[in-house]
Amino acid sequence: MSDRTILIVGTFDTKDEELTYIADVIRAQGGGVVTMDVSVLGDPAQPTDHSKHDVAAEGGHTIREAIDSGDENRAMQIMAKGASLLAARLHAERKVDGVILLGGTMGTDLALDVCLALPLGMPKYIVSTVAFSPLIPAERLPADIQMILWAGGLYGVNPVCRASLSQAAGAVLGAARAVEKPDPDRPLVGMTSFGKTIHRYMVALKPELEQRGYEVAVFHATGMGGRAFENLAAQGAFACVMDFATQEVGNHVEGSAISAGADRLTAAGRAGTPQIVAPGCYDLVDLVGWQPVPEALADLPSHAHNRLLTSVVLDEEHRRAVARAHAERLAQATGPSVLLLPTRGCNEWDRPGEDLHDPAGLAAFIDEMRRTVPATTELREVDAHINDAAFAEAALAIFDDWRAQGLVQDARR
């Protein structure tokens, strides 16, 4: 097995012992190490491969500027900018194969920026005292980030701390050795969905797209899945997107914590990536199951999906608001954009005879969508349910037409 080199990033003035321990574990496993110091005031016990002065300079600043700012937040943002640029350059120059970063709130804030600057497929591990915390918003997380709780790590190395640090060191080195990076020569279609009980179109579409030479990545649109989808779309990772589970838009509008952020349903459009959009599960808002239902939604029917997730069924007024939110986001599209609207329902539970069948609510949503769909997006209605074969066939027909026009990269060329 060939060795891999791991970039270790942290404040070596205050966390020298912990960062050195990580380096020692990686080296003991046969890996290489490159160190980067992002401290401001102090100096490490031993020189690092990339000093704090190197980091600041990479971002067009100096350590003196950071110190003279008189503000720790501003100082660390200077270091975050430089560290992000330097890490990206080291990766582009093939000098590092993975990154591990260590910190409390300050170090984690910087670490998130660094990881966002690195591409999908480069292992990214953050060891943090605030891992899994609500302090970290979804939009700061790259699609393939890994976080490990730095238990007992506020000050100094101890048995509890070593358990976390050694696992993290082994994990990033193992990931760098094992990772299968995306093939840039095979175009990727990004799709959103839920489980096959609710949405089934991917069962028909995935093999058809693969037969045409495309890779297909299906994202679970439950907050973090949508955020990963948007993150990759913003990077231009997709040849086309089939965004058929946009419930996270409604989640955000209604204030749910299960949100992919305010920018959900915008990244592909802004990037000019061809997008086919359908409002799967527009009529539901998912809420954190172990938290109280918000007062504004308390009078609406709800269903506990499990102990983690509760779904609220929206009334006509709320559905119209969700439709308008879709339109606002679709207005940002700069490339080919179609809203494929299934007029017979958008999840398996809203078919006639099922618990969520609500013809009036569906009609209200469709009416609002017809009235508000922006000029940037073509509205195509399909007389079918989202899980009917006719819907998948309509989506595939649009995709094939775009391929024929050269709007979507032909995977066979």
Return the H-helix or E-strand segment holding 101: strand 98-103
- Residue 355: phi, psi to the nearest 5? -60, -35
What is the rounded distance in angstroms from the CA atom of residue 229 to the CA atom of residue 237? Answer: 10
pLDDT of residue 1: 47
The hierarchical CATH code for the domain 188-405 is 3.40.50.12030
pLDDT of residue 215: 95
CATH 3.90.1170.50 applies to domain 5-178: no
Q: Is the dihedral of CA 276, 279, 281, 287 positive or negative?
A: positive
What is the rounded distance in angstroms from the CA atom of residue 180 to the CA atom of residue 13? Answer: 35
CA angle, corner 306, sides to 300 and 311, nearest 5?
Answer: 25
Q: Between the CA of residue 142 and those of 100, 108, 109, 217, 327, what are the distances in Å?
A: 14, 13, 13, 16, 26
What is the rounded distance in angstroms from the CA atom of residue 307 to the CA atom of residue 343? Answer: 32
Q: What residue ranges do the domains of the chain occupy?
A: 5-178, 188-405
What is the rounded distance in angstroms from the CA atom of residue 120 to the CA atom of residue 115? Answer: 10
Are the folds of 5-178 and 188-405 the same?
Answer: yes
Local confidence pLDDT in tens for the 413 residues of the chain: 458 999 999 999 999 999 999 999 999 999 999 999 999 999 999 999 999 999 999 999 999 999 999 889 999 999 999 999 999 999 999 999 999 999 999 999 999 999 999 998 899 999 999 998 888 887 788 888 999 999 887 777 888 889 999 999 999 999 999 998 877 778 999 999 998 889 999 999 999 999 999 999 999 999 889 988 998 999 899 999 999 999 999 999 999 988 888 999 999 999 999 999 999 999 999 999 998 888 888 899 888 888 989 999 999 999 999 999 999 999 999 999 999 999 999 999 999 999 899 999 999 999 999 999 999 999 999 999 999 999 999 999 999 999 999 999 888 65
Task: State the pTM of this model.
Answer: 0.85
